[in-house]
Amino acid sequence: DTHTADGLKVGSELRSSEMPMVVLETALPAKFEETIVEALGRRPERPPALQGIEDLPQRVEVIDVSVEAVKAIIERELH
């Protein structure tokens, strides 16, 4: 899982020899179903809130690659 790998990398860079490091992986296995199937040979259990999520409408908005564009989207959605 890339998020766990990122956490381990940063934790390793900031680690102190006087302090033990604990890294917890908190992502739901159902969010990475294909990877779980590949690793374990079975589908992960899905929480009820994720049942049928693929059938829901998707919302996609293409924006410019800029901080200003992201800020504008956040401002628009907050108001």
Q: What pLDDT score does 56 carry?
A: 92
Encode pLDDT of 48-66 as tens digits. Answer: 988 888 899 988 899 999 9
On whether the CB atoms of residues 29 and 43 are closer than 8 A, the answer is: no
Residue 71 has pLDDT above 80, yes or no: yes
Sign of CA dihedral 8, 14, 17, 21: negative
Tens digit of pLDDT for each residue in 6-51?
Answer: 888 888 888 877 878 887 777 788 888 899 999 999 999 988 988 8
